[in-house]
Amino acid sequence: MKISARNVIKGTIKAIEIGPVNAEVIIEVAPSLEMTSIITKNSCEKLGLAKGKEVYAVVKASNVMIGTE
């Protein structure tokens, strides 16, 4: 499936912390650049996510804010 989300960023899972409903997944998308995702525990199992697996971080453009210093 191709998806309309404008941000589809390749990376590798560094860590997964699983709770009763949700799971937190840390993905390394570039050297010293990590992204954090919260998905359901069920999605985590359905996709067979595990440390070291190659995945994509997917973010809809309307969910990206911009900060300035």
C-beta of 37: minimal distance to a second copy in Å? 4
Q: Nearer to a second copy by C-beta: 38 or 51?
A: 38
Q: How far apart are CB 26 and a second copy at their closest, in Å?
A: 9
- Positions touching a second copy (CB under 8 A) are 1-9, 17-25, 27, 29-31, 33, 35-40, 42-44, 46-49, 53-69
Contact predicate 54/14, CB 8 Å: no
Are the CB atoms for 16 and 37 separated by under 8 Å?
A: no
The pair of three-digit structure tokens given for residue 18, joined into one six-digit string: 């699983």
Residue among 40, 38, 9 nearest 25 (CA)? 38
In this complex, which beta carbon is closest to a second copy, that of residue 51 or of residue 60?
Answer: 60
Q: Minimum CB separation from a second copy for residue 51, in Å?
A: 13
Question: SS3 of 23, please?
Answer: strand
